[in-house]
């Protein structure tokens, strides 16, 4: 039954998948509740430009994607805070701008064929052993930072002004959470793919919200939906030779539809 | 009755002016707030009442003048846990926000906790006491979005109380709440002012508060037009304007 575990690439995919499944809804909870889900999409497109840079110059695309996403996330947040550009407009500019850069880079390299396809839609064979260590290390950091600022983040998400009056450094924490979202998006790319990562950040959270529970329970529910979708999605993709990202997101969507029906 | 200690000014706005771009919203406003005061800030729409609160809370920086909190300039002030704030959020909160009453009130303790510090027994006791004080303990496991407007406001007051503040600042706390609930809410505020000697500052449109409950009135229309006790205020033309006896929109 667990014959897939004899393959090293499947073990790597499941290890990385578990980390991604845990951190995605954790960050997603704060993005969704602050009506900032679209940033996940923007960051994933920025990551595509990062991946293209990596493939073009022969550097590990995971690291170039992380660099591009984190740097851009800080700039987006600064731009939003400056109030010179509406928040949504800033996202839109970066989304289309980074896609334009990515297309130019891909064209310069005359396409990246299979490699690029794997990064776009996710693949269980994309993950290298070095990626496992990097994703595990950075994933643990993301998880730990969210736990460290959990109280403050919750307060800001619920009532930003009251949190500010309470002496909580809202600007710093807002920038930090966007940078963490950028890290999460970049880390999830090898498994889920650039075009589907925002779904993993958003759908399990929206599914959990249908159960109308408190904050902590909603996070736990979202983590469960995410974990199950990712692990089952990777196994399904192995047996049916499907892109992992597609299988994961379709499963997450099934849970969402079921939650809608059951809570009608 | 609350005991206003006139020898102890805890908040001082001195010659404060504020502008949004080129438009002056506040001009040369000076108001002292003493320990135990129940200050109602009233005035016409667009007169700068809410802006005054935002300047006082450090959410906006005045163009000129100064704000001091508990004897310290606001720029250097670190004692924010002494101040509780109820924004207008309670009246238009997202009904689907996944948070229980108990979780909302616990947030009032966060400014008292360090970065790595998790809420402990003392914090949970403070939450229980605060919810009992406002009569909402039975609702502790309900979601905040499932409560009525008046109940939400009580929960927000409980969030302030859990933080054990010395001052509570409220921005139009009863907008969209029915008259009966408004009266119950203001009775609760008066109880907090008199029995716990909490200093209260609120922006309001409710004339009952001006007339019966506040100990100080500040009428703001860009400048501080009136500052004094209610019994004198009710005989002024400004009170007549607020109550609609003169043809001025409030």
Angle between helices A170-192 and A8-33 (to 10 degrees): 150
Domain that holds residue B179: 5-242
Angle between helices A170-192 and A38-57 (to 10 degrees): 60
Q: Measured between beta carbons, which residues in chain B are less than 8 angstroms from residue A151? A: 107, 110, 113, 118-119
Q: What are phi and psi of A77, to 5 degrees?
A: -65, -40
pLDDT at residue A208, rounded to an integer? 96
> Which of A151, A152, A170 best tests the B interface by mutation, with the highest count of B CBs <10 A?
A151
Distance CA A104, CA A52 (A): 9
Are the beta carbons of A218 and B98 separated by less than 8 Å?
yes
From residue A34, alpha-carbon distances to A23, A39, A218 in Å are: 17, 11, 15
CATH number (domain holding residue B115): 3.40.50.300
Distance CA B152, CA B154 (A): 5
Residue B85: closest CA among A160, A162, A159: A162
Q: In the numeric block, which tokens belong to residue B168?
A: 């509570």
From residue B35, alpha-carbon distances to A88, B42, B50, B79 in Å are: 44, 20, 21, 16
- Say if B248 falls within a structural domain: no
Are the beta carbons of A214 and B107 separated by less than 8 Å?
no
pLDDT at residue A62, rounded to an integer? 86
Instruction: Provide the number of structural domains found in chain B.
Output: 1
Inter-residue contact B223 to B27 (CB < 8 Å): yes
Strand ranges of the sheet holding B23-35, from the earlier edge strand across to the other edge: B23-35, B5-20, B64-69, B72-73
- Say if B40 falls within a structural domain: yes
CATH architecture of A3-262: Orthogonal Bundle (1.10)
Burial of residue B181 (CB within 10 Å: 0-12, 13-18, 19+) is middle
Are the beta carbons of B110 and A151 separated by less than 8 Å?
yes
Q: In the numeric block, which tokens belong to residue B20?
A: 């949004």
pLDDT at residue B99, rounded to an integer? 95
Determine the residue of chain A that is closest to B112 in CA distance. A166
Q: Measured between beta carbons, which residues in chain B are less than 8 angstroms from residue A213? A: 98, 143
Distance CA A260, CA A203 (A): 12
pLDDT at residue A1, rounded to an integer? 65
Using CB atoms, pick whichever of B57, B100, B107 lies closest to residue A214. B100
Measured in angstroms, the CA of A139 and the nearest CA of chain B are apart by 19
- Say if B250 falls within a structural domain: no
Using CB atoms, pick whichever of B80, B102, B110 lies closest to residue A155. B110
Inter-residue contact B25 to B222 (CB < 8 Å): yes
Inter-residue contact B135 to B154 (CB < 8 Å): yes
- Say if B218 falls within a structural domain: yes
Distance CA B230, CA B194 (A): 17
Burial of residue B59 (CB within 10 Å: 0-12, 13-18, 19+) is middle
Q: Measured between beta carbons, which residues in chain A are less than 8 angstroms from residue B101? A: none
Are the beta carbons of B98 and A148 separated by less than 8 Å?
no
Are the beta carbons of A161 and B104 separated by less than 8 Å?
no
Bridge partners (DSSP) listed for residue B34: B9
pLDDT at residue B2, rounded to an integer? 57
With a CB cutoff of 8 Å and minimum separation 6, the contacts of B6 are B34
Interface A-B: count of C-beta contacts within 8 A: 77
pLDDT at residue B250, rounded to an integer? 33
- Say if B26 falls within a structural domain: yes
Q: Is B214 left (phi over 0), alpha (psi -120 to 50) or beta?
A: beta
Inter-residue contact A148 to B115 (CB < 8 Å): yes
pLDDT at residue A236, rounded to an integer? 93
Task: Kindly provide the ipTM of the predicted complex, given to two decimals.
Answer: 0.85
- Say if B247 falls within a structural domain: no
Determine the residue of chain B that is closest to A210 in CA distance. B96
B→A interface, C-beta within 8 Å: 57-59, 78, 80-81, 83, 85-87, 89, 96-100, 102-104, 107, 110-111, 113, 115-116, 118-119, 141, 143, 159, 163
> Which of A159, A216, A217 best tests the B interface by mutation, with the highest count of B CBs <10 A?
A159
Q: Walk along chain B (250 residues) in steps of 10 and give the mean pLDDT of each run.
A: 69 94 92 93 88 93 94 91 86 86 95 85 95 94 91 91 93 79 85 90 78 85 88 74 53
Q: Measured between beta carbons, which residues in chain B are less than 8 angstroms from residue A167? A: 78, 80-81, 111
With a CB cutoff of 8 Å and minimum separation 6, the contacts of A232 are A247, A251
The stretches in chain A having pLDDT less than 70 are 1, 111-114, 264
User: What ranges do the domains of chain A cover?
Assistant: 3-262
């Amino acid at each position: 039954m667990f014959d897939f575990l004899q393959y090293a690439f499947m073990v790597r995919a499941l290890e990385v998948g578990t980390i991604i499944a845990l951190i995605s809804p954790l960050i997603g909870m704060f993005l969704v509740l602050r009506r900032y889900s679209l940033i996940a999409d923007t960051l994933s497109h920025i990551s595509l430009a990062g991946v293209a840079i990596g493939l073009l110059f022969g550097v590990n695309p995971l690291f170039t994607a992380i660099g591009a996403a984190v740097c851009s996330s800080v700039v987006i947040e600064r731009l939003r805070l400056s109030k010179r550009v509406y928040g949504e407009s800033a996202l839109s500019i970066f989304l289309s701008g980074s896609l334009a850069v990515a297309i130019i880079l891909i064209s310069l390299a005359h396409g990246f064929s299979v490699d690029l396809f794997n990064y776009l839609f996710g693949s269980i064979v994309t993950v290298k052993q070095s990626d496992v260590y990097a994703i595990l290390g950075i994933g643990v950091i993301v998880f730990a930072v969210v736990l460290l600022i959990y109280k403050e983040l919750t307060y800001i998400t619920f009532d930003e002004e009251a949190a500010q009056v309470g002496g909580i450094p809202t600007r710093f924490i807002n920038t930090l959470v966007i940078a963490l979202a950028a890290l999460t998006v970049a880390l999830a790319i090898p498994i889920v793919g650039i075009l589907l990562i925002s779904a993993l950040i958003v759908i399990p959270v929206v599914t959990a919200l249908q159960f109308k529970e408190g904050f902590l329970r909603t996070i736990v529910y979202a983590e469960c939906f995410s974990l199950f979708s990712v692990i089952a999605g990777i196994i399904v993709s192995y047996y049916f030779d499907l892109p992992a990202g597609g299988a994961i997101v379709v499963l997450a969507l099934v849970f969402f539809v079921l939650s809608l029906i059951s809570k009608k | 009755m609350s005991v206003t200690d006139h020898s102890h000014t805890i908040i001082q706005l001195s010659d404060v002016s504020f502008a949004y771009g080129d438009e002056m919203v506040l001009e040369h406003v000076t108001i002292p707030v003493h320990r135990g005061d129940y200050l109602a800030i009233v005035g016409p729409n667009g007169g700068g009442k809410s802006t005054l609160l935002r300047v006082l809370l450090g959410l906006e920086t005045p163009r000129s003048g100064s704000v001091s909190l508990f004897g310290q300039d606001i720029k250097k002030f670190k004692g924010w846990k002494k101040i509780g704030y109820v924004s207008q959020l309670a009246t238009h909160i997202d009904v689907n926000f996944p948070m229980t009453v108990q979780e909302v009130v616990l947030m009032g303790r966060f400014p008292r906790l360090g970065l790595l510090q998790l809420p402990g027994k003392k914090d949970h006791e403070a939450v229980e006491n605060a919810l009992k004080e406002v009569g909402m303990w039975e609702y502790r496991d309900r979601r905040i979005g499932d409560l009525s407007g008046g109940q939400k406001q009580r929960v927000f007051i409980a969030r302030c109380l859990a933080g054990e503040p010395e001052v509570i600042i409220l921005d139009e706390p009863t907008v969209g709440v029915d008259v009966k609930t408004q009266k119950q809410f203001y009775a609760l505020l008066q109880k907090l002012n008199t029995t716990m000697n909490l200093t209260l500052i609120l922006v309001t449109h409710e004339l009952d508060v001006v007339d019966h409950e506040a100990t100080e009135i500040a009428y703001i229309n860009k400048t501080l037009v009136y500052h004094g006790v209610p019994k004198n205020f009710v005989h002024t033309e400004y009170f007549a304007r607020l109550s609609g006896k003169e043809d001025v929109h409030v």
